[in-house]
Structure 1
Amino acid sequence: MDVRISMYFPYFRGKQNELITIRNNASLMAQAGFVPIIEPVKETLNGLKRALDSVVNSKGRAIVIVNPFHGDYSKNGDSLTNLLAEHFDGEDGISAGILLTNEISLEAAISSCKAHEQHSLTLIHAGFAYARELSNALGDKVKDITHCFFEEDAGKLYQKHFMAAKSKILIRDGFKKRKNREHPSEEFFSDLHATFQMENMQGFGDFLIVGDEYSESGGPAYAVAIHLTFIDEEQDEAMFIYHFISDRQDTPQDPAGKFLEALNKLIIKADEPTTKILATKALAEFRDLHERKHFPGLGYVKKLSMQHHIEVLADFFNGK
């Protein structure tokens, strides 16, 4: 498989740390052929524009959802459409995505498709109820649209109406959402990076180490967890995830100390002679934090885990 055409579509909700992750890894994702999908959820557009500028400067690609389901633009995404028109019109790498949930009518879906038909359009199928009708309305245009299917919300009977499309992407949520202290130390994450072609797909996606479940902000962290994915060659190259959890879990006090407890467990695992944790740039930064006993904030920790996940998949496809 040519690394430049490997088709990984990481799905980001456009919070600050997600956008910084895209910006910091724009070059890596462009070189690997990775295409971030961004659902903007915060009213300020400066961070989104900077992230997209980095994608363009790296000659990469990105999809911006113009009708988000979550966050500040869930009622009106006109500002997003205007941002793309004003700053990224003519940029082939930046395209509009339309999120098709169970709250969208057939008429609204058809209207949105027509409004953005001059762009290289992407449809994200996430619970929409009118697959047959939309496919019939689009006609031959179905083939030239990229179709991303949320596996939980768009099963095989739904997908069959769009099988004529040249580009079909299956998005699976590998991250199991639970309280930090309830995570096992290790569990299966996904095999979709190795099996998407068996699903008759041209690419795949996930929600990184964040998961599909959306929340405006996390509550107080009684336990601090660091999530790191790895690919296990001994398990047919399936992907697993480590959850490194702080020892103290009874009160929300001292997140910095709890982070160092979790980080110490990460470093011990990474230092094992037979470790399966890839030596990424993100891991190097975790090592630096460990040496300095520095707590950069939980948002930054999440950003490093997302970066590690991207680096692991880039390395996987680079070896194909």
Structure 2
Amino acid sequence: MYYPYFRGKQFELLALRESADVMAEASFVPIIEPVRESLNGLERALQAISDAGGEAIVIINPRHGDHKADGATISAFLDANYKDDSAISAGILLVNGTSLETAKALISRHADHAQTLVHAGFTAPRDLAEYLRDNDIAVTNVFIEDQASMLYRRHFAAGTRVLVRDGFEQQKNADYEPVDAFSDLHITYTDLDMDGYGDFLTVGDRFSEGGGPAYAVAIHLTYIDPDNDDAMFVYHFKSDSNDTPTDPANKFAEALAKLIAKLDAPESKLVETSAVEEFRRLHDAGHFPGLGYIKKLSIRHHIETLADYHRNADA
């Protein structure tokens, strides 16, 4: 159903571990693109997912990060730990520079694993679809929406099909409007002949290794609006003292005060997730946990919000 796309930074993997039970219960399947040389964080995240009885997809040839030149370490890791585990799928990322022969070689290399193809700019869909069909290879197809057109997707009509949309427009924190539209895919994915949908959480698709000091602090929390056909939107709670990069704790306190005011307002449509409970505790304690921790809570809230939506929609 829902396939959130994670990049394997520290706090994203922590959010994944802490959300493992929620995702397993909701039948959510995270896609993980490892971007750090060490796979220890990935190993702990996958262990949490396995312990919860969940599933995951691990990209074996990342586009970004420390493994972008060679994903052999990731392949060896999957061979050693998850070769006979159908719940952990080998994800093959097909980008603009991926040749047909490379795609075939990666598929053959992971013939003993469950396989997922992530289509993100690949230019030989007809030939690849024929190869899969002629060799009776079953895969899950994940399409990054802005890099795999509808015409492209027609070549891969068989098997499980997932559409991933980047609903989070990345800007400088100080430039965000109070509210932005996020996505309606959680409602419309079946209308698009898809079996599942995904997004890049409240992080966005654009990858960066890390920025400089924060002039503004923003807390991004998604919500589903029943007054707008259950479409998803995102609040951006921003600090006010944004002229210098000093005193991030005070900037966080300013943003957090706006979040709490919205939560306590009668018109709030935010789900009281475990992440929201943690934001309330941070507010009561006057504690600044660091920017990465804030991102982790935002991701957890997003996952729990969608889990709550599907739980109620299926009731």
Distance 1:219 1:171 in 2: 29
- Corresponding letter in the other structure for 1:192: L
Structure-2 change in CA distance of 1:142 and 1:232 (3 Å): farther
2:32 aligned to 19, 34, 38, which one? 38
Cα deviations by residue, 1:258-292 (Å, 9 ceiling, x for unpaired): 00100000000000122101111100000000000
Q: Give the aligned partner of residue 264 of structure 2.
A: 271
Distance 2:57 2:301 in 1: 21
The question of whether the paired residues in 2 share the 8 Å contact of 1:231 and 1:237 is answered with yes
- Corresponding letter in the other structure for 1:8: Y
Q: Give the aligned partner of residue 258 of structure 1.
A: 251
Moved more, 116-125 or 34-43: 116-125
- Aligned to 1:266, the other structure's residue is in SS state helix
2:121 aligned to 127, 130, 140, which one? 127
Q: Give the aligned partner of residue 233 of structure 1.
A: 226
Residue 205 (structure 2) pairs with residue 212 (structure 1): yes
Residue 57 (structure 2) pairs with residue 63 (structure 1): yes
Q: Give the aligned partner of residue 3 of structure 1.
A: none
- Aligned to 1:282, the other structure's residue is in SS state helix
Post-superposition, which runs of at least 4 consecutive aligned residues in structure 1 deviate over 2 A? Answer: 140-144
5+ residue gaps, structure 1: 1-6
1:84 aligned to 78, 84, 105, which one? 78
CA RMSD across the alignment: 1.0
Q: Give the aligned partner of residue 295 of structure 1.
A: 288
Distance 2:258 2:136 in 1: 49
Distance 2:30 2:8 in 1: 11
Deviation at 1:92, TM superposition (A): 1.9
Deviation at 1:166, TM superposition (A): 2.0
Q: How does 1:161-176 map to 2 (within 5 A)?
A: 161-163=155-157, 165-176=158-169
Distance 1:264 1:294 in 2: 12
- Aligned to 1:214, the other structure's residue is in SS state coil
Q: TM-score, normalised by structure 1?
A: 0.96
1:286 aligned to 255, 276, 279, which one? 279
Count residues in correspondence. 313
Distance 2:211 2:275 in 1: 23
Q: TM-score, normalised by structure 2?
A: 0.98
- Aligned to 2:244, the other structure's residue is in SS state coil
Q: Give the aligned partner of residue 297 of structure 2.
A: 304
- Taking only the aligned residue pairs, the percentage that are identical comes to 53
- Corresponding letter in the other structure for 1:90: D
Distance 2:134 2:264 in 1: 54
Deviation at 1:141, TM superposition (A): 5.6
Deviation at 1:140, TM superposition (A): 5.2
- Corresponding letter in the other structure for 2:92: I
